[in-house]
Every structure is written in C-alpha cells, then in structure tokens.
C-alpha cells in the first residue's frame, strides 16, 4: 500500500508567511540597468536665535507650520491626539516628495527615486523654497545634524502617533537609548536597488561592511544632551537601542550568501512591538512575530508594517536602505549619494570590494565601530589603514561617475574627510 504523505506536504502558516515575505523581496528586483536611488533627509526645526527646540504642539508649533505649507501638497495624513479631539497633520505628499515627522517632530523629506543626482537636488530645492519662507515667519530654520543641537530628551514632546506612543512605552521598559534615538537623532538614509537575489546578496553584504565607515565619514554632531565634545553620537545611540531590531541584521555578516529567506526569518523570529489591528494598532510587547501569526497568514499591509518596525543598520524592504549616515547639509548629502552610487552601481567595483573584504564578519564590523570612535582617521579596520581605504573609495567611485557627480563627491570628500581630519586625499590621482 502506498503511504499517504499529504500531511507532510501541508504548508504551515509559518512557512507560508516566510514565503510571502520572500516574495515581497523578490518583487523588489529591478531590471538590470533600471536601478535607481532614493534618499530621505531628516531635519531639526529650531529657532534662528539660538537653535532652541521647537515642539509639535502649540500656537507656534510644528503642527502650525505643516498647516501653512499644506496647500502646496496633494495629500495629507492626520492623527488625533489623546490630549484633545483635534486632527493633527503628520505627513504631506506630492508626486515627488513625502514630508513626514519622526517621533520628536524631526522633519523628514523623502524625495522619490532618481538616477541622476541633479534631479534629486532639484526636488530638494523646490521643497525648501516652500518650507523656508514659512519658517522665516516664525523665526525658525531647518538644521541638519546627527543629534539635536540644543534641548534635553525629557523636554521633547512626542508627536501625536499611536505607533510612537507604543514604541516609547516599549523602549522605556527595555532601557537603553531607544527614546533618545526616537527624539534626538536625525539621519540621511540612502536606498539602492537590486536586480536579483544574487545582486542583493552582494550589495547587502557590502553595505553592512561599509556601515562603520559611512557612520564615521558622515559624523555630523558633537553636542550630546547640551554637552559639546563628542563624536559618532548616533553610532553610540544606535548601538544601545534594541538588539532585536537595531545593530546588524542577525547573521548578515556571519552567514554565507545571506539572502531573502534569511532576512524574512530575521523579522519573523523577533518581537514587532505592535501589529496592525482593524484600523489601528495592537500592542504585542515582547511576543514574537512567529507566535503572533502562528495561525494567520500575513497581509500585504502587515508585511509592510513588519519591515518598518525593524531598523537594522542596513534594512531590506523591496530595496536596500543604508541607514547609518548622519543628517548633513545638502551639499554633503549630494557627495555621499555619489559615493554610494559609484561604489554599488558598478559590477566590477562591487565584486572587487567584496573580494577585498571577503573575511569580514560581524565581530570585525563591531570592532571597526570601536576603532573609529577611539582612533578616528588614524584607525586600522579590517586589517587596513582607514586612510588607504578612503582614498581607494573616493578614487574608485569617482571613476564610475559622470563629471557633475564627481564634483559632488569631491566636495564631500574635501569637507567631510580631508579638511575635517587634516588628511591629504590625493585628488591629483582622481581624474576629472
């Protein structure tokens, strides 16, 4: 008699959910040659007089500023505060730009996707031409720093968001620096595409390897809780947020060919803090995703939520998000984008760098963070001198860029590396 193996072949909700997450990543694959770049820049709204904190609520709060600029946008997103029944604007959207708020009312501009950096700059300048005149009326300005230049964390009001309320509650119980991460930091996040899982594996590994170096060369804050004289503040904060959702994605640098299934299992075996429930959110505390959805199949909305609530140094959605750069002035952002474009969107360069760093694992990467914080430009990381690596990165990326983007890169390298650390990058060897 033939054995009935049908029960053995039945897919469980867990296996189906891993497949759904994996398919979501697969659907992000772009056609070769059609890859683009996305950028998000977070800004602090401060007073012109002394860089003082501006909170969300009040007659001169950031909520009022959003009302002022709202007519220039096509869509608005609202939230109702527990303090009253009013609706508050939390986000504004046009075809090219999405403006939203981080927990401490940091203003984030997400500026679509592009292949030419000058197109990104055009959109950014357009948004600033809308926002800056309104800020002027109130005596405010936008500041791009990695950490809030003035104001203690306990004086920052959370914006009216149930998601952020739940995150705040969770991080308070957890301890660590989660609240400071939410309220006091600001980033430049650059997203890159992949054209296959094999391409993802390469780019994701390299992005994780280079993360400590990116954090160092974009370090743009010296004031921590009103005290000057610090370095790599965001690195310090992010290293102590929550090992379940920050740091390097589990096994990202320790498993050969870390791929889509591996990232799916990373988020599926950790606590999501909260999950979508009807038209709201339900607090799940330390419960793991796999237990919450043990008898339920993930919807597309739930998948998007899960991927947003885990924020490792390098994140996967349906693109790769490089997250550890500080918020910087726009001219430095342009150069940082150029560096990433020049390193990641040339196949030969990608393979060459992966070969150079073939032995790197997570322990070496954490050691790199420590060396950079303690020894700066004179560090030796991954067995190589940082100065030699930076010279190689700039020259290699420059060779892969058109003229206008080479110039963006060189301005960034001069300001954030050569002049800042009194380090002579030999631009004579970098052909323009």
pLDDT tens sequence across 154-165:
999 999 999 999
Helix (H, G, I), strand (E, B) or coil at 382: coil
Q: pLDDT: is 112 or 81 the higher one? A: 112
Name the DSSP class of 366.
H
Percent of the chain residues topping a pLDDT of 90: 91
Identify the pLDDT of residue 432: 45
Helix (H), strand (E), coil (C) string for 96-165: CCEEEECCCCCEEEEEEEECCHHHHHHHHHHHHHHHHHHHHHHCEEEECCCECCCCCHHHCCCCCCHHHH
Q: Token digits for 367?
A: 């050691």
| Confidence check: pLDDT of 9 > 80 | no
Express each pLDDT in 182-200 by its tens digit. 999 999 999 999 999 999 9
Express each pLDDT in 265-319 by its tens digit. 999 999 999 999 998 999 999 999 999 999 999 999 999 999 999 999 999 999 9
Query: How far is Cα 378 from Cα 385, in angstroms, rounded to an integer?
Result: 7
Query: How far is Cα 358 from Cα 427, in angstroms, rounded to an integer?
Result: 28
- Say which CATH topology domain 13-330 has: Creatine Kinase; Chain A, domain 2 (3.30.590)
Express each pLDDT in 375-424 by its tens digit. 999 999 999 999 999 999 999 999 999 999 999 999 999 999 988 888 88
In terms of DSSP bridges, do strands 273-277 and 98-101 run parallel, antiparallel, or are they unpaired? unpaired
Q: Token digits for 209?
A: 């390897």
Widest Cα–Cα separation across the chain: 87
Identify the pLDDT of residue 431: 47
Identify the pLDDT of residue 86: 79
**Mean of per-residue pLDDT scores for the chain:** 94
| Confidence check: pLDDT of 239 > 80 | yes
| Cβ burial, residue 200 (10 Å; 0-12/13-18/19+) | buried
| Confidence check: pLDDT of 10 > 70 | no
Return the H-helix or E-strand segment holding 41. Answer: strand 37-47
Q: Give the residue carrying structure tokens 């892969």.
A: 400
Query: How far is Cα 56 from Cα 67, in angstroms, rounded to an integer?
Result: 12
Identify the pLDDT of residue 7: 46
Query: How far is Cα 80 from Cα 77, in angstroms, rounded to an integer?
Result: 11
Half-sphere exposure of 338 (CA within 13 A, CB side): 30
Query: How far is Cα 62 from Cα 39, in angstroms, rounded to an integer?
Result: 23
């Amino acid at each position: 008699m033939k054995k009935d193996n049908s029960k053995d072949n039945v897919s469980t909700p867990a296996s189906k959910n891993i497949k759904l997450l994996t398919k979501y990543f697969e659907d992000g694959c772009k056609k070769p040659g059609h890859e683009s770049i996305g950028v998000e820049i977070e800004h602090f709204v401060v007073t012109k007089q002394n860089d003082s904190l501006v909170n969300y609520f009040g007659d001169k709060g950031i909520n009022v500023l959003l009302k002022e600029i709202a007519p220039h946008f096509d869509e608005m997103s609202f939230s109702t505060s527990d303090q009253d029944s009013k609706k508050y604007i939390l986000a504004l959207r046009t075809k090219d730009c999405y403006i939203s708020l981080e927990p401490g009312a940091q203003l984030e501009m997400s500026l679509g996707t592009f292949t030419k950096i000058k197109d990104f700059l055009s959109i950014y300048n357009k948004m600033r031409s809308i926002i800056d005149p309104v800020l002027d009326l109130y005596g405010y300005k936008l500041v791009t720093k990695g950490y809030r230049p003035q104001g203690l964390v306990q004086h920052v009001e959370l914006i009216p968001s149930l998601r952020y309320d739940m995150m705040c509650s969770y991080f308070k119980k957890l301890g660590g620096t989660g609240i400071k991460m939410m309220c006091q930091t600001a980033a430049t996040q650059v997203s890159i595409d992949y054209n296959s899982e094999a391409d993802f594996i390469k780019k994701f590994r390299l992005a994780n390897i280079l993360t400590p170096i990116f954090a160092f060369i974009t370090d743009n804050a010296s004031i921590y809780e009103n005290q000057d004289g610090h370095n790599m503040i965001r690195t310090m904060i992010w290293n102590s947020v929550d090992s379940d959702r920050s740091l390097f994605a589990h096994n990202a640098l320790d498993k050969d060919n870390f791929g889509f299934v591996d990232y799916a299992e990373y988020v599926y075996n950790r606590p999501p803090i909260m999950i979508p429930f009807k038209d709201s959110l339900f607090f799940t505390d330390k419960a793991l995703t796999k237990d919450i959805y043990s008898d339920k199949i993930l919807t597309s909305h739930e998948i998007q939520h899960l991927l947003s609530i885990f924020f490792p140094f390098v994140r996967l959605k349906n693109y790769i998000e490089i997250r550890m750069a500080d918020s910087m002035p726009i001219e430095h952002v342009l150069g940082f984008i150029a560096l990433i474009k020049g390193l990641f969107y040339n196949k030969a360069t990608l393979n060459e760098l992966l070969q150079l760093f073939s032995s790197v694992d997570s322990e070496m990467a954490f050691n790199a963070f420590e060396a950079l914080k303690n020894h700066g430009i004179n560090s030796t990381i991954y067995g190589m001198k940082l100065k030699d690596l930076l010279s190689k990165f700039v020259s290699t990326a420059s060779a892969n860029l058109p003229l206008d983007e080479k110039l963006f890169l060189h301005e960034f390298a001069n300001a954030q590396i050569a002049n800042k650390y009194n380090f002579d990058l030999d631009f004579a060897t970098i052909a323009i």
